[in-house]
């Protein structure tokens, strides 16, 4: 018996034997199709696109029946991509102009789009790479003979699927009674595969590629019985413990279902607002099923990334209006276009930067491209005027007061032209902003801490680095001390306080953040039930004491263990 370190994508304990999933399709690099044969390749690609689209539409119906509208929207997005004229024309051009085979053209364009997603800084968009690979694999599957293992090779016994990565389509393919869990080497909590795994109640973890090679077929494993640990070749005692935990998990699932729609109020009467993070209109269906109190982070970048050129005022205003209408009066915090050297738009010129995380991004980029900023703010005000709702505008990457003053002036200028009502707040992602909140009194109506970047800048660790993964932790006491100071100062200045990083979606993190005194916690919609149970089961005074205790601890591990023990003593871990 030995342990492998993991990162949890989908909670839950699983015990069973390994099945390695081998990718089914291999595409030959064909770039020499004769000109008189290219029409045939084009016709084959057209047919494959049509068949793929029909398949996805059928899959949408199946997923809608089994998992609901919110998860079906993932595959509706796939259908939109396959139907996209620009996406199709890119493939046809490789056939017509360069002599690529249909299969190779589809594979190349899908991979190009996937790589563009992976180059982006925002984890939400980075995880969309798997969607393009899934689409490419689906198109290619109708053009070449499949190889390897697929659904028909799934063993008759219950199994934990092991793969380098899994696409949403593959995740759904393995949705059957004998699936126990997933172990992958690539993927994050924002990937659609991870979202689907959580939706169907299947545990999933990430391990390093080196460790993945140790997991041979039929190897017995236990997932998640201990925090961030995969146990290989477990003994009988460990297996029995896992089975007992699984019984408790089912009871907890039923328990969480009962508190849906109830307020996140502590036993001693302190009310918190639980918001959801979202990135597109299609996400909102998933968000609404968890009945959040609002949207604490709506990423507007996705709208811009879907366009072949800058979206104009009309397109943006209609989009923001639809978002507000969909939330039916609940507050929505729109983050201004968070783009820059680290995640460029293909139709805008960006200089190459040696340190893009420290460069021309967020509000820095927007103030240097004021017309883009004005158009976006004006569009939001039009949406406000149309829906008769206040628009909440969040300014990313703020590091100095002049940036917020400039945004406030633009809001007032545009308001005179189109009406509407908006309040602006700053995203606290830099230590400079966290340490200086008091001086934003009257300039920023609210603060929202971006825990991912604040952690990155505080501990000087690239959050995407595999090598430094152990050093990156929101539980670091210095990060928490910055949050505590920012919230305390914001409260003194009369500002609302929120946090929109995924740290709020971890129950240990949520307990500490509640004790810090945030008004709002925003997270992935799927994390809301578990966090709500924590808050409803505790006294606010006990959460405050927990926070004071952890702020005095020396390192991230000590902080996490203290919070974990607190929840364990409250009987809240299962």
Residues catalogued as catalytic:
192, 500
Residue written as tokens 């056939």? 95
Distance, CA of 105 to CA of 108 (rounded, Å): 5
Q: What is the DSSP string of 321-351?
A: HHHHHHTTTS-EEEEP---BTTB--TTS---
First to last CA, the chain: 25
Helix (H, G, I), strand (E, B) or coil at 347: coil
Which residues neighbour 113 within 8 Å (Cβ) at sequence distance 6 or greater? Answer: 87, 132
User: What six digits make up the tokens of 571?
Assistant: 């009987």
Residue written as tokens 């699983």? 14
Helix (H, G, I), strand (E, B) or coil at 507: helix
Closest to 388 measured CA to CA, from 474, 309, 321, 451: 321
CB atoms within 10 A of CB 348: 14
CB atoms within 10 A of CB 376: 26
Helix (H, G, I), strand (E, B) or coil at 44: helix
Which residues neighbour 439 within 8 Å (Cβ) at sequence distance 6 or greater? Answer: 401
Distance, CA of 6 to CA of 212 (rounded, Å): 11
User: What six digits make up the tokens of 77?
Assistant: 């997005």
Task: Give, for 443, the enclosing helix (H) or strand (E).
Answer: none
Residue written as tokens 């997932």? 223
Cβ contact 70:285 at 8 Å? yes
Which residues neighbour 263 within 8 Å (Cβ) at sequence distance 6 or greater? Answer: 271
Distance, CA of 518 to CA of 56 (rounded, Å): 42
Cβ contact 282:525 at 8 Å? no
Cβ contact 569:542 at 8 Å? no
CA angle, residues 400, 406, 410, in degrees to nearest 5: 155
Which residues neighbour 27 within 8 Å (Cβ) at sequence distance 6 or greater? Answer: 103, 104, 107, 140, 144
Half-sphere exposure of 250 (CA within 13 A, CB side): 6
Distance, CA of 269 to CA of 272 (rounded, Å): 10
């Amino acid at each position: 018996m030995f342990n492998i370190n993991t990162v949890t994508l989908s909670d839950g304990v699983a015990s069973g034997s390994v099945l390695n999933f081998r990718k089914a399709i291999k595409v030959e690099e064909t770039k020499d199709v004769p000109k008189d044969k290219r029409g045939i390749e084009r016709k084959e690609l057209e047919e494959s696109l049509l068949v793929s689209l029909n398949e996805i539409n059928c899959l949408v119906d199946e997923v809608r029946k089994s998992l609901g509208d919110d998860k079906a929207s993932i595959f509706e997005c796939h259908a939109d991509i396959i139907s996209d004229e620009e996406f199709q024309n890119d493939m046809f051009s490789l056939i017509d102009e360069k002599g690529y085979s249909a299969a190779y053209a589809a594979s190349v364009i899908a991979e190009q789009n996937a790589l563009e997603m992976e180059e982006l800084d925002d984890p939400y968009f980075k995880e969309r790479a798997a969607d393009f690979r899934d689409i490419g694999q689906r198109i290619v599957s109708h053009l070449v003979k499949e190889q390897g293992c697929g659904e028909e090779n799934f063993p008759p016994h219950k199994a934990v699927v092991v793969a380098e990565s899994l696409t949403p389509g593959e995740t759904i393919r393995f949705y059957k009674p004998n699936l126990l869990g997933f172990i992958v080497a690539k993927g994050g909590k924002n990937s659609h595969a991870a979202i689907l795994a959580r939706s169907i109640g299947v545990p999933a973890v990430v391990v390093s590629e080196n460790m993945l090679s140790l997991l041979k077929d039929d190897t017995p494993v236990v997932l998640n019985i201990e925090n961030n640990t995969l146990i290989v070749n477990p003994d009988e005692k460990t297996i029995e413990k896992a089975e007992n935990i699984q019984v408790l998990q089912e009871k907890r699932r039923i328990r969480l279902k009962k508190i849906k729609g109830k307020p996140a109020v502590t036993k001693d009467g302190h009310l918190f607002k639980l918001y959801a993070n979202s990135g597109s209109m299609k996400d909102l269906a998933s968000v609404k099923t968890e009945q959040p109190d609002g949207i604490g982070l709506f990423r507007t970048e996705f709208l811009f990334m879907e366009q072949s050129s800058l979206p104009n005022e009309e397109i943006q205003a209609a989009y923001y209006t639809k978002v507000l209408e969909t939330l039916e009066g609940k507050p929505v915090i729109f983050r201004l276009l968070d783009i820059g050297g680290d995640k460029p738009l293909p139709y805008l010129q960006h200089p190459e930067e040696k340190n893009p995380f420290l460069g021309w991004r967020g509000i820095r980029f927007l103030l240097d491209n004021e017309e883009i900023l004005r158009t976006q703010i004006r569009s939001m005000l039009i949406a406000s005027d149309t829906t008769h709702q206040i628009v909440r505008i969040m300014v990313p990457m703020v590091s100095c007061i002049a940036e917020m003053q400039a945004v406030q002036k633009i809001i007032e200028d545009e308001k005179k032209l189109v009406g509407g009502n908006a309040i602006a707040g700053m995203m606290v992602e830099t230590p400079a902003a966290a340490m200086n909140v008091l001086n934003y009194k009257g300039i920023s109506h609210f603060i929202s801490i971006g825990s991912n970047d604040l952690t990155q800048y505080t501990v000087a660790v690239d959050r995407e680095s595999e090598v430094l993964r152990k050093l990156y932790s929101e539980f670091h006491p210095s990060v928490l001390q910055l949050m505590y100071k920012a919230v305390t100062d914001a409260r003194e200045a009369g500002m609302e306080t929120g946090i929109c990083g995924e740290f709020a979606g971890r129950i240990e993190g949520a307990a500490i953040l509640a004790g810090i005194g945030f008004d709002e916690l925003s997270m992935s919609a799927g994390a809301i039930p578990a966090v709500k149970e924590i808050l409803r089961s505790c006294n606010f005074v006990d959460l405050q004491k927990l926070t004071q205790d952890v702020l005095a601890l020396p390192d991230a591990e000590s902080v996490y263990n203290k919070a974990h023990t607190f929840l364990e003593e409250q009987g809240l871990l299962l």
